């Protein structure tokens, strides 16, 4: 049964990786503002996020971003009921900027502080602007840093079913895109190449399933297979590894086929493990969140899975798939209305509370 929604107005702050974000969320479901400043341009030349650069940029941007979130929501600090921040997981130096800012603001205004889990919040993004979820649900988080499956019996009752033992799916997409010579961050570029070219996944790459009944993921094998498919079999020469060719030697058609093949292998692994989780739990809803949910093949496959199994699929709107603070506001609301608060001694942690 849906309980009446308790009115709340929460400012949430996100700084776990390379996005500085702030949002004002009303009643745990309505987003009054959602401001995101990406740092992609600062990390582009390094081909990945440089932690020191990320935390400095958060520090410079956090004040103006919070101001803008309040302004766009049309509220003052007096209107807030709580301040929340993502406290885990993420880059510790980056997390500390948002957490310290949120705690200082909460303390100075005498407001409750809530430190929330970033990965779990990716799933609750599916609750924004939507009716209540039919529980239990299976939750799939696929992002640049995480690939996890959960069973949820309520918005805050999560049980971790499986996670990646090596690369996250988004990280694998980004690395494969770099191998193909696509610009950073490559996940969306690889998806675009596969989609727009209409290429078939003709190259057989391993679909990593681990043990048949395992709900863990592994993407290192498909990544290595992709490297060899692009550059040929490596050999040792004078103490160095030498490949047969470079990515520039590929014809555009070959490049597109490889992009489609990689996308197919990663999505197939995600969908098969999600199917196993649905069978194991008898869930009525499938929640999917994280940046990789932007992948068009994954979206289509999850839609088909939900139709085939007669369950409701919740994929957040694009703005709430990528890293954002609104999703943290949803989790904070659920905790606030249950009387939960976190002490100001709370600090950031690089891992989730479940340790992965």
Which residues would be at the binding site for ligand KG4 (CB under 6 A)? Answer: 17, 143-145, 170-171, 173-174, 185, 187-188, 191, 290-292, 294-295, 322-323
Q: Which is nearer to Zn ion, 205 or 298 (CB)?
A: 298
- Span interacting with Zn ion, options 75-83, 272-280, 318-326, 333-341, rule CB under 5 A: 318-326
Q: Which of ligand KG4, Zn ion, none does residue 188 bind (CB under 5 to 8 Å by kind)?
A: ligand KG4
Radius of gyration of the chain (CA): 21
Task: Please state the closest distance from residue 252 (CB atom) to ligand KG4, in A.
Answer: 20
Q: Which is nearer to ligand KG4, 18 or 334 (CB)?
A: 18
Task: Please state the closest distance from residue 164 (CB atom) to ligand KG4, in A.
Answer: 12
Task: Please state the closest distance from residue 98 (CB atom) to ligand KG4, in A.
Answer: 14
Task: Please state the closest distance from residue 88 (CB atom) to ligand KG4, in A.
Answer: 12
Q: Which is nearer to ligand KG4, 80 or 205 (CB)?
A: 205
Task: Please state the closest distance from residue 295 (CB atom) to Zn ion, in A.
Answer: 15
What phi and psi, each to the nearest 5 degrees, are found at residue 139? -120, 130
Alpha-carbon distance of 333 to 177, in angstroms, equals: 38
Site string for Zn ion, 183-222 (x = CB under 5 A): ----------------------------------------
How many CB atoms are located within 10 Å of the residue 268 CB?
A: 19
- Judged by CB under 5 A, the number of residues near Zn ion is 2
Count CA within 13 A, CB hemisphere, residue 230: 25
Contact criterion met (CB below 8 Å) for 133 and 119: no
Q: Which is nearer to ligand KG4, 187 or 329 (CB)?
A: 187
Q: Which is nearer to ligand KG4, 24 or 177 (CB)?
A: 177
* Residue among 8, 39, 121, 143 that touches Zn ion (CB under 5 A): 143
Burial 24-61 (b: 16+ CB within 10 A, else e): bbbebbebbbbbbbebeeebeeeeebbbebbbbbbbeb
Task: Please state the closest distance from residue 317 (CB atom) to ligand KG4, in A.
Answer: 14
Task: Please state the closest distance from residue 176 (CB atom) to ligand KG4, in A.
Answer: 10
Q: What are 182-186's contacts with CB under 8 Å, separation 24+?
A: 183/44, 184/40, 184/43, 184/44, 184/47, 184/48, 185/40, 185/144
Contact between 174 and Zn ion (CB under 5 A)? Answer: no
Q: Which of ligand KG4, Zn ion, none does residue 352 bind (CB under 5 to 8 Å by kind)?
A: none
Q: Which of Zn ion, ligand KG4, none does residue 22 bind (CB under 5 to 8 Å by kind)?
A: none
Contact between 323 and Zn ion (CB under 5 A)? Answer: yes
CA 111 to chain centre: 28
Contact between 15 and Zn ion (CB under 5 A)? Answer: no
Q: Which of ligand KG4, Zn ion, none does residue 14 bind (CB under 5 to 8 Å by kind)?
A: none
Q: Distance between the two ends of the chain, CA-based, in angstroms?
A: 33
Task: Please state the closest distance from residue 143 (CB atom) to Zn ion, in A.
Answer: 4
Q: Which is nearer to ligand KG4, 182 or 336 (CB)?
A: 182
Task: Please state the closest distance from residue 246 (CB atom) to ligand KG4, in A.
Answer: 22
Comparing every residue's Cβ against Zn ion, the nearest one is 143
Alpha-carbon distance of 29 to 39, in angstroms, equals: 27
Binding site for Zn ion (CB under 5 A): 143, 323
């Amino acid at each position: 049964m849906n309980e009446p929604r308790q009115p709340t107005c929460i400012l949430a702050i996100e700084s776990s990786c390379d996005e500085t974000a702030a949002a004002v969320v009303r009643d745990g479901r309505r987003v009054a503002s959602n401001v995101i400043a990406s740092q992609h341009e600062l990390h582009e030349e390094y081909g990945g996020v440089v932690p020191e650069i990320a935390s400095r940029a958060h520090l410079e941007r956090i004040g103006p971003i919070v101001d803008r979130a309040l302004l766009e929501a049309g509220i003052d600090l007096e209107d807030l009921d709580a301040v929340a921040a993502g406290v885990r997981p993420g880059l510790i130096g980056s997390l500390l900027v948002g957490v310290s800012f949120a705690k200082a603001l909460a303390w100075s205004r005498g407001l409750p502080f809530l430190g929330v889990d970033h990965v779990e919040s990716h799933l609750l993004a599916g609750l924004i602007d939507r009716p209540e979820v039919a529980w239990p649900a299976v939750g799939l988080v696929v992002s640049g840093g995480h690939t996890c499956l959960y069973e949820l019996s309520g918005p805050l009752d999560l049980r971790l079913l499986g996670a990646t033992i090596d690369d996250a799916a988004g990280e694998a997409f980004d690395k494969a895109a770099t191998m193909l010579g696509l610009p950073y961050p490559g996940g969306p570029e690889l998806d675009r190449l596969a989609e727009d070219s209409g290429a078939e996944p003709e190259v057989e790459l391993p679909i990593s399933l681990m043990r048949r009944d395992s709900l863990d993921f592994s993407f290192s094998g498909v990544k290595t297979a992709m490297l060899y498919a692009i550059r040929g079999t490596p050999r040792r020469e004078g103490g160095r590894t030498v490949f047969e060719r470079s990515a520039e030697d590929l014809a555009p058609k070959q490049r597109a086929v490889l992009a489609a093949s990689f996308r197919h292998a990663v999505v197939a692994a995600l969908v098969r493990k999600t199917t196993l989780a649905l069978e194991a739990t008898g869930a009525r809803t499938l929640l999917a969140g994280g940046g990789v949910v932007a992948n068009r093949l994954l979206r289509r496959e999850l839609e088909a899975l939900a139709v085939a199994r007669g369950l409701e699929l919740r994929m957040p709107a694009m703005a709430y798939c990528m890293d954002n603070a609104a999703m943290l506001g949803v989790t904070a609301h659920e905790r606030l209305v249950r009387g939960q608060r976190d002490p100001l001694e709370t600090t950031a942690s690089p891992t989730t509370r479940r340790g992965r």
